[in-house]
Amino acid sequence: MSADIDALVVGAGVVGLAVARALQSSGRETVLIDAEPTFGTHTSSRNSEVIHAGIYYEADTAKARLCVRGKHLLYDYCSARNIPHSRLGKLIVATEAVEEQVLEGYRLRALANGVDDLYFVSRQGIREMEPDISAFAALMSPSTGIIDSHAFMLALLGDFEAAGGIFARKCRLDRAMADQDGCVAEIEGGQRFQTKLLINAAGLEAPALAARIEGLPSELVPARRFAIGHYYSLSRRSPFRHLIYPVAVPGALGIHVTLDLSGAARFGPDIRWIDTIDYRFDDSRREEFVAAIKRYYPSINAQDLTPAYTGIRPKISIDGKVISDFDIQSFDHHGIPGLINLFGIESPGLTSSMAIAEEIVAVSEASLT
């Protein structure tokens, strides 16, 4: 069987859903496929569900630009569609005096990214806002929030299908071949799509999928790297009213406190490199969690933590060097009309999803004209 379509989006995580919705809404006949039996089963449903402000990313990076734009789009969409969310704010805490300089660096970086609502909180102010937190000072980010990511993805899918889009579950892309009309995509089982646009939004599997696209230079396909993170739930009532983040560690934002929309607290994630996609929970790191959390929440103990879940970040590397920014490759990178690869879409991918979709629509229009 074969079919001619305008766009094929591979990967029904939050970014793939947002892209498919945007393309279908722009008038392009779009098919969204995913190898899993439903949407959002990997990175999109195994994260902190935080709406990020745009603080940590270097100016002029894709993460900085798309996070800040995406945050505004996401809050507007949630309000318009009644998607559960809360703009409850985040405290980034300095647990040592020397870390106050790091907080000032965050403030300046945020300003460079267009985030101008951060302000410092004194030790006394911290006690008033979060009595159980111990810190020298903190930086408050009032536009950081939380979201029901499943409800958000369900709304995106609903919009996509209501506009006429087709979502095919348990549908794996075997390979694709570029031609003068776009790409021919071969689906497991024998179906072929002739598509003007092929969007690789496969998350953890995006580099592996790109390697199966004939005509794409192999040197443009980054190596995939898997970084697992563990989350523990607080087994008693949460004393926190805000998200609490320590100063970031290399490759991650550190073991922080996030809240769900019911007010329950969880801690995480840590970071550990693994070779395969394996979500098993390693409870042997509990004491490391306790030690990290005690720096800002001294009353924690090991019995307070209950294993919750793990998530895997879809990191990438080139020539052995881990790439910290989103890597969005289109015609200008590889010369194949209509092909767009989305590599390394880790945090803040959820926050950035609608801005990424907006950009994909613009890039696709340019590449096909």
Mean pLDDT, contiguous 10-residue spans, the chain (369 residues): 86 98 97 97 96 96 98 98 98 94 96 97 97 97 98 98 97 90 87 94 98 94 97 97 89 87 96 96 95 96 97 95 95 90 97 98 80
The whole-angstrom separation of Cα 363 and Cα 25 is 15
For strand 145-147 and strand 173-179, is the pairing parallel, antiparallel, or unpaired? unpaired
One domain for residues 173 and 293: no
pLDDT at 115: 98
One domain for residues 132 and 244: yes
Q: Dihedral sign for Cα 92, 95, 99, 100, please.
A: positive
One domain for residues 192 and 112: no
pLDDT at 182: 83
**Which residues on adjacent β-strands are paired with residue 340?**
199
pLDDT at 250: 67
Q: At which residue do the structure tokens 């329950």 appear?
A: 264
One domain for residues 189 and 282: no
Domain that residue 124 falls in: 88-143+224-318
| End-to-end Cα, the chain, rounded Å | 29
The whole-angstrom separation of Cα 141 and Cα 281 is 31
Q: Is the whole-model pTM more than 0.85?
A: yes
One domain for residues 279 and 233: yes
One domain for residues 236 and 137: yes
One domain for residues 195 and 237: no
One domain for residues 117 and 42: no
One domain for residues 280 and 228: yes
